[in-house]
């Protein structure tokens, strides 16, 4: 298979990239390991931000200022300015293409308030905004004849003389390992919050595959330590209860019936407040009862449905028990302002990328906007690169190594239960690298990751069938998640301060000397290396920390 532009991931970033690339009359494909509709974008329910320059939504400058303030000095102002200035146009484009945003009494696109801002600038489709946008973009991509390669799992980025030549991937239909050639590649395959199995709004398939892919290819990861915990996951399942609930006026109360935090504070502030209540032996609930059944059914129907199905609780007349859960990985593949990476022809966008928009803490409603704006930009830049490039030589030795590795997993005798290992990893991360962490807990987590990495040599498929072998994919996802977890914990250890979503009980204050990014890379394919990168991205200070074997 040969493509001009190949896109990994079918979320909003990937779809926008593919659609934009197709406008250049190129051969474009989206590769996805499952159903295109089951992306994190499709599960994002609250809304997408834009200033319409009205009294309620505020000015574009206010949107910029709120985003900068939330980032806590770790974002790129110019990139944020571009994002916020393009926001309204992206919303109008989506609306014109058929996304049915809710409307107010004047038939203007309705907007609700989200945390970290005093303005109503979050556009929405009830409480299923991401799903509505994703479905629309999938239809648009199919109309443009973008090819969808469903049930493919990427193993390696193939390179030749410093530029991309393609990828190796497993075709799940028959477990064949294939080389797929491309002139340019857009990585848009999501983040890694799913490694917190049982304690995340994400499915376990959100295992950081693209970040592991990037590390193995020699690309740097940036700001991994800022894992955002959503304040309101369901107590039992961890399923997401959208910030739209609080945007519509829902209360947070403890088991004493007290409202203990401003519900529309930044997510890191709200998550820490809830964590503190739970640590003090209290329970925490969302209270929607005062909103009334009509408002809940009109604006929050999915919240009511999931509360009833998952907890047996009807929010019309009952309190919803909640806890913070891992939700969004702010850090990711280091990208430049044009979405390019250190490998020529490779671009990235969406949650798997570090676009320097969110800094230490993401504002709700900014992630879908980032995915749309940078996804479109990545598609444009990847197309321009592809139009000027020839196909590069495929590294079949790399493909052969991937084939042997897959055969090893398939044919050996299994010694461990993969589902138990994934659950154990999730529990350990939530306990040791949760909302609040310290050096001791982080080192405990790191040691446990190393222990689990040693177990992976005994992970093999019990079922040897090559037709849609789910067990094989679970094992590879788990190995990827351990690799990313190791890099994540090293970044957390390196940031000896409390800032945004990196809350350290042993370093309670923000340290201005750490107004720097933290880089994790694996250029020699043997050691993970951690270093500081100055904010201006001009002076790079390499500081040795600890080197750990990764293979």
Active site residues: 267
Q: In sequence order, which residues have a C-beta less than 8 Å from that of residue 84 and are 6 or more positions away?
A: 51, 60, 63, 64, 67
Question: Cα(first)–Cα(last) distance of the chain, in Å?
Answer: 30
Could you tell me if 87 and 49 are in contact, meaning their C-beta atoms sit under 8 angstroms apart?
A: yes
3-state secondary structure 438-465: CHHHHHHHHHHHHHHHHHHHHCCCCCCC
Residue 147 bridge partners (DSSP): 29
Of the candidates 484, 487, 485, the residue with the CA atom closest to the CA atom of residue 519: 487
Contact call for residues 18 and 379 (beta carbons, < 8 A): yes
Distance separating alpha carbons of residues 265 and 452, to the nearest angstrom: 38
189 and 477 in contact (C-beta within 8 Å)?
no
Which one, of 156, 150, 149, 151, lies nearest residue 403 by Cα?
Answer: 156
CA distance 517 to 225: 10
DSSP 8-class letter at 250? -
Tokens of 410: 């398939």
The two three-digit tokens of residue 444, written as one number:
């405990």
Q: In what order do the strands lie in the sheet with 111-113?
A: 48-49, 120-123, 111-113
C-alpha distances (whole Å) from 515 to each of 200, 233, 256, 465, 510 are 29, 31, 39, 51, 9
Percent of residues in the chain assigned helix, strand, coil, to nearest 5 = 40, 20, 40
Cα–Cα distance between 314 and 325 in angstroms, integer? Answer: 21
Class of residue 227 by CB neighbours under 10 A (exposed 0-12, middle 13-18, buried 19+): buried
Among 131, 113, 133, 109, CA closest to 122: 113
What are the E-state strand segments in 367-521? 436-437, 503-504, 516-521
């Amino acid at each position: 298979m040969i493509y001009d532009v190949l896109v990994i991931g079918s979320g909003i970033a990937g779809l926008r990239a593919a659609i934009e690339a197709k406008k250049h009359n190129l051969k474009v494909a989206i590769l996805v390991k499952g159903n295109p509709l089951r992306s994190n974008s499709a599960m994002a329910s609250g809304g997408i931000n834009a200033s319409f320059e009205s009294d309620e939504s505020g000015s574009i400058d206010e949107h910029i200022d709120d985003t900068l303030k939330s980032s806590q000095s770790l974002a790129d102002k110019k990139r944020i300015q571009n994002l916020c200035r393009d926001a309204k146009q992206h919303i109008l484009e989506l609306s014109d293409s058929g996304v049915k945003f809710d409307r107010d009494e004047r038939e203007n696109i309705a907007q609700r308030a989200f945390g970290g801002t005093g303005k109503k600038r979050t556009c929405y489709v009830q409480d299923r905004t991401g799903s509505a946008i994703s479905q629309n973009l999938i239809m648009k991509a199919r109309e443009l004849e973008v090819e969808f390669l469903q049930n493919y799992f990427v193993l390696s980025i193939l390179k030749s003389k410093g530029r991309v030549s393609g990828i190796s991937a497993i075709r799940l239909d028959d477990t064949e390992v294939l080389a797929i050639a491309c002139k340019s590649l857009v990585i848009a395959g999501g983040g890694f919050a799913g490694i917190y199995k049982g304690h995340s709004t994400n499915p376990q398939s959100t295992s950081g595959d693209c970040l592991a892919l990037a590390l193995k290819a020699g690309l740097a990861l940036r700001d991994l330590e800022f894992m955002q915990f959503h304040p309101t996951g369901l107590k039992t399942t961890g399923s997401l209860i959208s910030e739209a609930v609080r945007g519509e006026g829902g209360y947070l109360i403890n088991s004493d019936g007290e409202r203990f935090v401003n519900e529309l504070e930044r997510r890191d502030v709200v998550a820490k407040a809830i964590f503190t209540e739970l640590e003090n032996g209290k329970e925490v609930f969302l209270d929607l009862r005062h909103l009334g059944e009509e408002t809940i059914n009109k604006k929050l129907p999915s919240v009511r449905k999931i509360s009833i199905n998952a907890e047996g609780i009807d929010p019309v007349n009952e309190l919803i028990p909640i806890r913070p859960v891992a939700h969004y990985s702010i850090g990711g593949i280091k990208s430049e302002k044009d979405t390019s990476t250190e490998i020529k022809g490779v671009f990235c966008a969406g949650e798997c990328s570090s676009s320097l928009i969110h800094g230490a803490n993401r504002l709700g409603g900014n992630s879908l906007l980032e995915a749309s704006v940078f996804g479109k930009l990545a598609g444009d830049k990847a197309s321009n690169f592809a139009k000027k490039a020839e196909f590069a030589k495929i590294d079949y030795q790399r493909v052969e190594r991937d084939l042997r590795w897959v055969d090893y997993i398939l044919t050996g005798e299994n010694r461990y239960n993969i589902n138990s290992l994934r659950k154990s990893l999730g529990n350990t991360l939530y306990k040791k690298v949760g909302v609040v962490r310290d050096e001791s807990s982080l080192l405990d987590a790191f040691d446990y990751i190393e222990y689990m990495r040693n177990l992976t040599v005994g992970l093999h498929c019990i079922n040897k069938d090559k037709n849609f072998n789910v067990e094989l994919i679970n094992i590879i996802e788990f190995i990827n998640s351990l690799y990313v977890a190791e890099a994540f914990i090293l970044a957390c250890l390196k940031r000896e301060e409390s800032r945004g979503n990196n809350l350290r009980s042993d370093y309670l204050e923000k340290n201005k000397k750490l107004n720097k990014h933290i880089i994790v890379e694996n250029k020699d394919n043997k050691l993970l290396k951690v270093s500081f990168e100055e904010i201006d991205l001009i002076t790079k200070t390499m500081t040795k920390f600890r080197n750990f074997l990764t293979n």
